[in-house]
Amino acid sequence: MYASLDWAVEEHKSAKLFQELNDHEVSPLEQIKQFTLFAFTESDTEISNGVFRIIQNLSSTNDLPEHLEQFVEKAGQFYIESLYPLFVEGQNSGEIIKGDPEELLGIYLTVLSGIMADDPAFWKDNTEQKVGILIRMISER
């Protein structure tokens, strides 16, 4: 199960996306938007849905084997470490609303994971428009 989850998280694809966006010097808000689009368009919705449900369940389970506990923590930590600097930089440049960046990131990730765990198929149509609406949740207008 661990190997299957590790493969399904597709962290390497996300890392590549963040590197490409960074190389093109895209604004922090645009990087967050592109990551959100990536989450809804590049991932296999059935696999993503199952993976998010499993990880959410594991994260609230007591007495996990240590390797699974570390996996669950690592899966979330990658996205926090990748996105947190973008939230801070976006606030400093006036693109992202003021507030505790850790709290804003937590809200963003909760919304994103909720969508992925619930009904990612809905996001396959008019994806850019829907992501634009979602991004307005954190952006200065």
User: Per the domain annotation, does 23 fall within a domain?
Assistant: yes
Residue 101, both tokens? 């960046």
State residue 55's pLDDT score. Answer: 60
State residue 14's pLDDT score. Answer: 74
State residue 7's pLDDT score. Answer: 43
Domain housing 116: 2-135
User: Per the domain annotation, does 140 fall within a domain?
Assistant: no
CATH number at residue 80: 1.10.357.10
State residue 93's pLDDT score. Answer: 96
Half-sphere exposure of 69 (CA within 13 A, CB side): 6
User: Per the domain annotation, does 122 fall within a domain?
Assistant: yes
State residue 16's pLDDT score. Answer: 82
- Consecutive 10-residue averages of pLDDT for the chain (141 residues): 48 76 88 89 57 58 73 74 94 97 91 77 85 95 77
User: Per the domain annotation, does 25 fall within a domain?
Assistant: yes
State residue 12's pLDDT score. Answer: 65
CA distances from 4 to 10, 13, 42, 51, 110 (A): 11, 16, 18, 9, 23
